[in-house]
Structure 1
């Protein structure tokens, strides 16, 4: 959807924020035994660390790799755009979820000698939420926000 490097940076910043904030809230709620109002405030402390990490990983590593993996399943120009979007989004979650779960496990869960076990459990708990959140909520919301911000530039691109 982004057409320029600047648009890609903005899109990735938005997506990373929406995904990370939701996943941090989810993990905190999981750890405190359920959703509470204070979870939203506590999440703001963690997002300061996790948002830049997610942006860096997505922008410099995962974006390219997820497209390569997705294009093994779908072909741009031949398959419907929705299938391409779903394939790329799914591959991003498949790559980002274990990586971000590992980072969160190390930084926030004090796993000690149980690092691998705690990380695998965290990734397993996070994956269904991350995939559903990305496909049904974060992806559509961020694309709507992005289209709203770049409405004029995107219209110019389609009329050129």
Structure 2
């Protein structure tokens, strides 16, 4: 886990990029009726705007809120670190999913009509299971592993 503000920014950028990219791929696949090779490249076009939104939401709203709630449940240094990490991951997915689904619906779905609310609710409902699984079993472990290896390499220098 990050120890300094600079490390926190790097970690957040890494996590946001991996989470957003995965979720954008998933949503494009839903829109076109299933996963196809072109989706991996197509998702890159949405990554800049959704990545910035995700970074801002996580940095200023969701991240601090998830940390505050999770540290109320588990004490860093006292309780097992895995419980704190899992709580932060679950809380982050729980809060980020409806927020990011809102912006995805606003910017990338044909939602400029009376059905915006219904489309946002449907998008959020479709994204929740994947966001949790992707965070807990994919993006989270991957980013923590790569970030940890980067920290270890920097300490050796």
Flag whether TM exceeds 0.5 (same fold). yes
Q: Partner of 1:151 in structure 2? A: 152
Q: Partner of 1:34 in structure 2? A: 34
Does residue 9 of structure 2 align to residue 15 of structure 1?
Answer: no
Q: Partner of 2:62 in structure 1? A: 62
Q: Partner of 2:127 in structure 1? A: 126
Query: Which runs of 5 or more residues in structure 2 are unaligned?
Result: none
- 1:154 shift after superposition: 5.8
**Which whole-Å CA distance do the structure 2 matches of 1:11 and 1:154 have between them?**
16
Aligned-residue CA RMSD (Å): 1.5
**Which whole-Å CA distance do the structure 2 matches of 1:154 and 1:122 have between them?**
43
| 1:3-50 CA distance string (max 9 Å, x none) | 111100100000000000000000000000000001111101111211
**Which whole-Å CA distance do the structure 2 matches of 1:154 and 1:11 have between them?**
16
TM-score by length of 1: 0.92
1:4 and 1:73, CA in 2 relative to 1: closer, same or farther beyond 3 A? same
Deviates more, 1:59-68 or 1:92-101: 59-68
Whether the 8 Å contact between 1:105 and 1:122 is mirrored in structure 2 is: yes
Q: Partner of 2:48 in structure 1? A: 48
3-state SS, counterpart of residue 96 of structure 1: helix
1:70-85 matched pairs, under 5 angstroms: 70-85=70-85
**Which whole-Å CA distance do the structure 2 matches of 1:61 and 1:79 have between them?**
25
- 1:71 shift after superposition: 2.8
Q: Partner of 1:138 in structure 2? A: 139
Whether the 8 Å contact between 1:147 and 1:154 is mirrored in structure 2 is: no
1:152 and 1:39, CA in 2 relative to 1: closer, same or farther beyond 3 A? closer
Aligned length: 156
Whether the 8 Å contact between 1:21 and 1:47 is mirrored in structure 2 is: yes
Query: Which runs of 5 or more residues in structure 1 are unaligned?
Result: none
